[in-house]
Amino acid sequence: MLTNPRFPRSGQYNPEWVSAGAGGGANPLWLTEWLCEVVELRPGMRVLDLGCGRALSSIFLRREFGVEVWATDLWFSATENAQRIHDAEAGDGVFAIQADARKLPFADAFFDAVISIDSFVYYGTDDLYLNNLARFVKPGGTIAIAGAGLMQEIDGPLPDQIPDHLKAWWEPGLCCLHSAEWWRRHWSRSGIVDVDMADSMQDGWQSWIQWHQTIAPDNHTEITALQADHGQNLGYVRVAGKRRPGVTLDDPTYSIPARYSYKPLLRPK
């Protein structure tokens, strides 16, 4: 079930290894391979794999493209990921980090590229987030994401506008899903990146179903919703852009220095 001719690189990996590393609603190897069709990666480049889950995408990037990868995730243990990386004989170029995407422990302009697989929707919809992330990328460096999304925006208040066939599956948190064109506007309006690509995967809904039928066959609600939707609203989207040289980024504000000085509360009588 994890064989898909659309993704020949991914097909080289043991299905049991892929299934054991499942951490979300998408096959991380398929999405990484698809995203890297529009991202130029060269051996020795420093890559931040942001929201890497169980680091399958990080290991894939190292083995397939020879890049150095900082496998960074908040939810999954760096110790577990480090062991998986070691067992995959990728420890010479993949480094496990447990960190919050909003408080990344890296130097400015440290990375040549940031890759994010089926994770960015959980934090990247914030209008200010791209500014915080871009400072870790060299000017001219790449920021690219791929994951679940909409084929077109659903207008109006949610969940009132959700199609009937999706209502059993839909929950409030899914309002973070957006279309490729929404992401293009979201990034472009910041002036921080030039968007090179924003599109959706052809028949991506079928790959979505195939993944769930393999790793979560009991998830009948989601599988049924995807089958009924038939790609009308749901699928996979990818966006890739480059940090604009010469753009001045705002420093992030984590706290305001205390400057309290006592003053009387009431006017003197």
Tokens (6 digits) for 6: 């659309």
C-alpha span between 179 and 170 (Å, rounded): 16
pLDDT tens by residue, 11-49 = 999 999 999 998 878 999 999 999 999 999 999 999 999
Q: Which residues pair with 73 in a beta bridge?
A: 98
Side by side, the strands of the sheet bearing 111-117 are 94-98, 68-73, 46-50, 111-117, 137-150, 234-243, 193-200
Predicted model pTM: 0.93
Cα angle 64, 67, 19 (rounded to 5 degrees) comes to 45
pLDDT tens by residue, 172-231 = 899 999 999 999 999 999 999 999 999 999 999 999 999 999 999 999 999 999 999 999
C-alpha span between 5 and 46 (Å, rounded): 29
The answer to whether 10 and 214 have CB atoms below 8 angstroms apart is: no
Tokens (6 digits) for 151: 């084929």
